[in-house]
Amino acid sequence: MTEKHHTVMVLIVTDETPRRALMIESRKHQRWMPPGGHQESDENPLEAAIREVKEETGIDIADYLPKPVVVDEMSSIIPLPSRLVEVRIPPRGSEPEHYHLDSLYIIHVSKPLKAKKNDAELASIGWLSLDDMKDIFVPEDVRQVLRQELIP
């Protein structure tokens, strides 16, 4: 059976016209994506989303996301992501084929937030419109979500 990894992705979209999304270009994968990555074993998806965006862009998104509801000392209700996306990851080097189960959170902001590129992981970072993304490699599943969120 093929392994499945829990991952997160955060689409931060401006409400201005044209709408733009914060996109990062990964050095490792050589593609443009919203910020995100693997969920650690001690994190829920919301915590992973906050950590990944902070690590990659310097932006603290905690205040933009709904808060968990603490039920009692034993449990909390974690806000659902906007979408759950399953992506097959082909084998690469010594890493076998596996799947990413992406918890996709979507945040709307009035205008672009100040972002700072993590030089170790990212080749580029930017607030891009759909027109800006015409000639760059963005995976089709991401492009589909972008079309739904960036076209008013």
Q: How many domains does the chain have?
A: 1
Give the domain extent around 48: 4-150
- pLDDT value for 89: 92
- pLDDT value for 1: 78
Q: Can you read off the two tokens belonging to residue 16?
A: 């201005």
Contact 36, 7 (CB under 8 A): yes
User: How far, in Å, are 8, 65, 77, 81 from residue 45 at the CA level?
Assistant: 6, 12, 12, 8
Give CA torsion, residues 33, 23, 45, 66, to 10 deg. -150
pTM for this structure?
0.93
Q: Can you read off the two tokens belonging to residue 36?
A: 């995100």
Contact 22, 127 (CB under 8 A): yes
Which segments of the chain have a pLDDT < 70?
Answer: none
14: CATH: 3.90.79.10
- Distance between CA atoms of 127 and 114, rounded to whole angstroms? 10
